[in-house]
Amino acid sequence: MKFALGYANTVPHYDPVAARDLAVAAEESGFESIWTVEHLIWPHAYDSAYPYHRSGKMPGDPSTPIPDSLIWLTWVGAATSRIRLGTGVIILPLHEPLLLAQQAATLDLLTGGRLELGVGVGWLEEEFDAVGVPFGRRGRRTDDHIEAMRRLWASDDAAFDGDFVRFEGVASNPKPVNGTVPIVIGGHSSAAAKRAARLGDGFYPGPDSLDKLSAVLDTMREECERIGRDHDEIEVMSAYPGRLAEDFHQAVATMGALGVDRLIVPVGMVTRPSLEVGMENFKTLARSLD
C-alpha cells in the first residue's frame, strides 16, 4: 500500500513556511505522494450540494485560503526530491487546456517527472457561472481537455478536433519528463468510474461508505471489461470512508482488499498535536504493517 498525504494545501499550509515544512516532513516520513484540493472561487451563497459531506456544504467559509494547486506544488516540489506531487483534484473544465498542458509539463519537468494530474468535472455550478463556463456538458468538455493535453504532450505537430477544443499544426513545449503526465480521474459517480476506465491512468473516487466505494470500483472494472482494457493498468487511490486513525491496520487491509493501491491520509491526522508528533505517530503505524 502506498500512502498519500491528502488535502495538503488547506489551512494552515497555505503559508509558505508551513507548506514547505509539511512536504519535507511527509517525504522524510515515507509518504509516496502529496495531494492538493482546488476551488477558484468560493461563493458566499450557493445552492449546489457539496457531495462529500452530509451537510451539503464545504468545510470552512469564504475567507478560507485555497492556494492554486500547481503553484503550491511547484513551491513544495522545489523543497523535496522524491515525493510525488498530485492535484486532487483540478476542476478541469474550468481550465484552458492548452495553458494547463504547458503549466503541467513545466512543473513536471522542474520536479523531475513527479507530477500526477488529478482532474474532475466539478460540482459547484455557481463557480462555473462566475468563471463563465457552462455547467452543462462539463463531462464532455473534460474528455476533450484530457485528449487535447495528451496530444500536445505527445507531438510537436499536434492536432485535435473536439467539441470544445480545436487546433492543428501546433507545438507545446517543454514536454513532460516521461512523455506524458499521468492523469487521475476524480469523482464518486458512475460517469467518473467509466471515464477512469476510458481515459485514466488512475482513479480517485471519494464515496462516503465502503459499499459505495466497492460499487464504483466495480463500475470502473466493468467498463474496462466492456472496452477491452486491463483494469490493473489503472491505479486506484482513495481515502478511507471512516476514522482511519482509530483502526489503521484494519483500514489498510480493507482498502487493499477492495483494490486500492494508494491510501489517502488526511493532513489533520499527521499534524496533531503537532507536525513532529503527528508524523512520528504515522511512521510508527506504517512500520507496524511490516
Using a pLDDT cut of 70, give the percent of the chain over it: 100
Q: Domain of 30?
A: 2-287
- Please tell me the predicted confidence (pLDDT) of residue 54: 86
242 or 100, which is more confident? 100
Q: pLDDT (tens digit, 9 = 90+) per residue, 116-165? A: 999 999 999 999 999 999 999 999 999 999 999 999 999 999 999 999 99
Domain of residue 107, CATH code: 3.20.20.30
Cell of 208: 462516503
Strands (DSSP E) contained in the chain are 2-6, 33-36, 84-91, 115-120, 158-161, 166-170, 183-186, 202-204, 235-239, 262-266
- In the chain, the amino acid numbered 197 is A
> For residue 88, what are the β-bridge partners?
none
Which residues lie below 8 Å from residue 50, measured CB to CB, with a gap of 6+?
Answer: 56, 57, 58, 123, 124
Cell of 290: 511490516
Number of domains in the chain: 1
Tell how far CA 110 is from the center of its chain.
19
Report DSSP state, residue 235: E
Cell of 123: 460540482
Q: Does 179 have pLDDT greater than 90?
A: yes
Q: Do the Cβ atoms of 217 and 205 come closer than 8 Å?
A: yes
Cell of 50: 457539496
Of 148, 171, 170, the residue nearest 161 (C-alpha): 148
Q: pLDDT (tens digit, 9 = 90+) per residue, 268-279? A: 999 999 999 999
HSE, side-chain direction, 13 A CA sphere, residue 40: 18
